[in-house]
Amino acid sequence: MKKMTFKLTSLILIILTAFISYFISITNNVNQISYDNGELIDTIIISAVGDLMCHTPQIRDAKLSNGSFDFSHMFYFVKPILEQSDITIGNLETVLAGSDKIFSGYPLFNSPDEFALAIKDAGFDVLVTSNNHSLDRGFFGLERTIKILDSLGIKHCGTYIRKEDSEQALILEIKNFKLALLSYTYGTNGIPIPEGKEFCISLIDTSKIKSDIQKTKQHNPDKIIVYLHWGNEYQRFPTSAQKKLADFLFNYGVDIILGSHPHVIQPSEFKILPDSFGNEKKVFVAYSMGNFISNQRKRFTDSGVIVHLKLVKNFSTNQTFIDTVTFTPTYVSKLNGRFRIVPIKEALQKFEINDSLWINLFSSEEKKMRRVLNDFENHIWMK
């Protein structure tokens, strides 16, 4: 009798625990949902940046006396901005091949693992790994990079250890949204892709991209995002090939295109296209988001932009649309060999109220920041 009572009590506790967990889950979802004109909606903020590079001077800046590395100061002033987003994406334009392969910057990158750790701590959720430096340390470096990102809990796409992983999009589920992310690069700087491992990096190939998009649609994502490493370095406007590829992607169902590689900001634009229901839908492309962190110092290469996309999901119509796009222009300060990414507008506001921290660190670069801001404001939207 005691055994039966114990089993019955245990069963009741299990059911009660499951019910409480379900109730908490439902409550959390309800807290995320609001009403707009009487219709049930949810919102999400996606933030994206361009190239996360790690040149030799950055490695020197991060090196500690005990031989380890700390890159966290480089992201200190943008971390609060990135953390406000529901998901943050960037292009990891280096590999993590380990100290045995010698840490170095351009032309063959290899960065300490702590660089990725600082990126995660700054608020990044997803890193794109398909770019022209993906094979800088061969397949070994590509594979180790993926394993380090996995160990840190950072989602990634664009390079792969297994063929089956290369054949599907990265599906991101957060709040009540399901997003699909694909990424591709124009090439690998002439470094051969290992024979038998052609799947290890996603190259820009329209037939493959078309196939990938078709497979992705089977997941019924709310939005399909494609991150592209494309265009010409240091060219401030997209090439005709970029525009043609963007139109190709939009016509096959892509909703958002995020670009990197030119190392300078290229304009963004909206396009209005018909959706599968015969209605109009708004799609968006940021042709290049510039350098988020690097040692490049020439005009236009010492800055970048954080793109913030607000998506709204209407549960009454079961449609998701791009509501707004806003931008945070950034500048890479290198005073006294100390790298810091600076949100320009916030810095200028801090100068106006005589904030001692910001003035002591950055006031000598105020003129340059104002020039960068002016360049940005006159250039960010496609004319």
pLDDT of residue 25: 38
What residues have CB less than 8 Å from 363, skipping those under 6 apart?
351
- Provide the pairing of β-strand 319-333 with 340-343: antiparallel
Count the residues in the chain.
383
Task: Give the 3-state secondary structure of residue 252.
Answer: coil
- Provide the pairing of β-strand 170-174 with 303-314: unpaired
- C-alpha 91/C-alpha 88 separation (Å) is 11
pLDDT of residue 298: 95
- Say yes or no: domain 40-377 is CATH 3.60.21.10: yes
Both tokens of 28, joined, read 């959390």
- C-alpha 57/C-alpha 105 separation (Å) is 8
- C-alpha 236/C-alpha 258 separation (Å) is 15
Task: Print pLDDT tens along the chain (383 aa).
Answer: 444 444 444 444 444 444 434 333 333 444 456 656 668 999 999 999 999 999 999 999 999 999 999 999 999 999 999 999 999 999 999 999 999 999 999 999 999 999 999 999 999 999 999 999 999 999 999 999 999 999 999 999 999 999 999 999 999 999 999 999 999 999 999 999 999 999 999 999 999 999 999 999 999 999 999 999 999 999 999 999 999 999 999 999 999 999 999 999 999 999 998 877 678 899 999 999 999 999 999 999 999 999 999 999 999 888 999 999 999 999 999 999 999 999 999 999 999 999 999 999 999 999 999 999 999 999 999 98
Task: Give residue 138's region: left, alpha or beta (phi > 0; psi -120 to 50).
Answer: left
Both tokens of 364, joined, read 């000598």
What are the structural domain ranges in the chain? 40-377
Burial class (CB in 10 A: 0-12, 13-18, 19+), 11: exposed
Please state the pTM of the whole predicted model: 0.90
DSSP 259: E
Count CB neighbours of 243 within 10 A: 15
